[in-house]
Amino acid sequence: MDRAALIKVLTRASGALAVVLVLLLAFAGYLAHLSTTLPDLRADPSAIEMAQTSVVYAADGSVLAEWYDAEDRTVVPYDSIPQSLKDAAVAIEDRRFYEHSGVDVQAVARAFSVNTRAGEVRQGGSTITQQTVKLLFTEGERTLKRKIEEALLALQLEGRADKDVVLGVYLNMVYYGHGAYGVQSAAQRFFGVDAPDLTLEQSALLAGCIQSPTRYDPFVNPSAALERRNLVLRVMRDEGCISDAEAADAAARPLGLAEGAPMRQLVAPYFVEYVRRDLLEELGSERLYRGGLRIHTTLDPAAQRAAEAAAKSVLPDPADPEVAIASVRWRDGAVVAVVGGRDFSAEQFDLATQGKRQTGSAFKPFVLAAALEEGHTLDSMWEATPFSTPVKDGIWHVENYENAITGGTYSLQTATTWSINTVYARLIMAVGADKVVDTAHRMGITSEINEDPAIALGGLTQGVSPLEMASAFGTIANGGLAVAPSGIDRVTDSEGELVYAPERDGTRAISAEVASTLAGALGQVYTAGTGSSANFGQWAAVKTGTAQSWRDAWLVGYSGELSTAVWVGYPKAQVAMDNVHGIRVTGGSFPAQIWKNYMQVASVGASAPQAVAPATPGAGEREQWVSYTVCAESMKLAGARCPETMELAFPAGAISDEVCTLEHGR
């Protein structure tokens, strides 16, 4: 080669070298820039924190629900992950895991060779460290930039974290199928066991699912899952993790999936949703769904079962009105049972905590409380004739239920026992609707209440919920101290540190004397009045309520440690319940029966005196009591066709001598 030609070749070579050098410098600059955009794992340890599933527990420690965002995950310590799963994952996913520094050059070269010969991607070169990085930091798109990011982060991660830490994070993050992220969720969902209790064959199955959770889904493709599991066992044997005998014994075993997996049956779904709504407001969605919280609730499973059974036993038919029940432990406001409707899968709106309906006469105790605070007494005497008075919107005209009481003068105790509307209309006019609204709010009603005299008879603009009513009656039981209801006992993080607990101290709403007087008055409703069909032999204080046209029916009261509200009605269409199983539905009918059926189970063992017969009026009552056989529906003297009657004591002349003529069941 002559001198000119040589110079020409060298010139071209130097030019090419310069181009390569420029490219290398540019690539190095790109890597340097890219490295500055990656999280600093040493300076920010929280960068490798994982979203975790929050678990909801009943008061007895049983699991009610698990809440998570996109990933169902419960992180377990590395030492709690069985060695069999660690070995299985390394054997099938990254055999040189303990030899490389985060990026396995041999595996990359091998994958490149295999894929080149095949003309398609058949083998990957990603290590467990790179897969962990992908789960933690990158978006997962299949691009060169993403691969470079993974490699850089993998090297950084292994330079700052022990191999076992990386493996533990990986096994706690990776997706195994059926919505289970992490070994604990997978162990529970696939086998119904906790992660530390996984057997060799179970570990091999889970490790085999990692590569393709859909293809090796044991619920959908059991034969493919079994073949994959046994492949993992053979690789573990070849790698020296297990013996020939152990591999053969495990391979001979069936898949052993948990019955009913992977879905969990809903338990107390309306209660769980009630707690969820409260915690979303207190803690926010990020912490609730990703924070691995341990949510300890106040739900008593036995009480919940009793409430559900009581509702079904009285109104079992799909065409029957709905039943809502809210039951509260009045000393601390703990919500122990919630029935929000017949079928949560069909309707998620919670009639017990979200539903607001007219209360009828169940609102009268708030009027009575305000009157007692104003100095009125139970033995004060009031006219019971029909009552009319001008109000803002015209004339307010009040008569008694079914016109059973058309006149006379009665004590406030008797008017409470027999829910005499005309007496309470006069009472609220004497006290003032504004004072009644204030009293109701102090006692636990949180809904807005219109300052209208009609509230004395339950004429509320927007209504109130059963939970509000149960809580407010609990204030009476608690000697006048109001405690806000809550279904949450406490919330802790995954380490057991307290995150949130509701306030359980009561605030003085009414005096202890007023509360005691109210208790005595409502005790008479239970033993001798409109709520007597709820009597189950243990002392109680109750009030019935029936809204206009029989559209809402209530029984609210307390006994032992529980204050419980029962509502019956049609939730969407304001339908009159004037012929349900042959009767008009009043608070003293189905609601009273449901309340009784529930309370006689839920309040068993509560220390309370036994219910007694109607008390003999004192001298201040100035009334003579007479025993009557009364129709439970019309509250008139029972006729021959009345299917349900009661032997009750009334003040002489308190009811008319008219005999019931209702066409029952027709």
Q: What is the pLDDT of residues 448-505, one digit of tens each?
A: 999 999 999 988 888 999 999 999 999 999 999 999 999 999 999 988 999 999 999 9
**CA pseudo-torsion sign 624, 625, 631, 634:** positive
Mean pLDDT of all residues in 145-167 = 66
The span from the CA of 130 to the CA of 155, in Å, is 9
Cα separation of the two ends of the chain:
121
The span from the CA of 195 to the CA of 609, in Å, is 50
- State how far Cα 177 lies from the chain centre: 26
Would you state the pLDDT for residue 8? 60
Q: Which of 197, 201, 195 is nearest to 230 (CA)?
A: 201
The span from the CA of 251 to the CA of 208, in Å, is 13
The span from the CA of 364 to the CA of 367, in Å, is 5
Would you state the pLDDT for residue 76? 87
Q: Which of 649, 645, 651, 650 is nearest to 659 (CA)?
A: 645
pLDDT tier for residue 615 given thresholds of 50, 70 and 90: very low
Chain-wide mean pLDDT for the chain? 82
Lowest mean pLDDT among 46-60, 285-299, 315-329: 46-60
Which element (helix H / strand E) includes 600?
helix 590-602
**Matching residue, tokens 């005999």:** 659
Is 549 a residue whose pLDDT tops 50? yes
Is 38 a residue whose pLDDT tops 60? no
Mean pLDDT of all residues in 203-208 = 96
What is the number of alpha carbons within 13 Å of residue 600 lying toward its C-beta? 15
pTM, whole model, 2 decimals?
Answer: 0.67
The tokens describing 586, both together, are 């009043």
pLDDT tier for residue 258 given thresholds of 50, 70 and 90: confident
Q: What percent of the chain has pLDDT over 90?
A: 54
Say how many residues make up the chain: 666
Mean pLDDT of all residues in 603-613 = 48
Would you state the pLDDT for residue 390? 86
Would you state the pLDDT for residue 604? 63
Comparison of pLDDT for 295 and 116, the residue scoring more: 295
Q: Tell me which CATH homologous superfamily contains domain 361-460.
A: DD-peptidase/beta-lactamase superfamily (3.40.710.10)
Comparison of pLDDT for 285 and 238, the residue scoring more: 238
pLDDT tier for residue 103 given thresholds of 50, 70 and 90: low
**CA pseudo-torsion sign 213, 217, 220, 226:** positive
Is 620 a residue whose pLDDT tops 90? no
Q: Tell me which CATH homologous superfamily contains domain 71-251.
A: Biosynthetic peptidoglycan transglycosylase-like (1.10.3810.10)
DSSP SS3 for 512: helix
**Matching residue, tokens 């790109």:** 30
**Matching residue, tokens 């504004």:** 434
The tokens describing 645, both together, are 């009657």
pLDDT tier for residue 68 given thresholds of 50, 70 and 90: confident
DSSP strand pairing (294-297 vs 54-57): parallel
Comparison of pLDDT for 517 and 97, the residue scoring more: 517
DSSP SS3 for 569: strand
Comparison of pLDDT for 21 and 316, the residue scoring more: 316
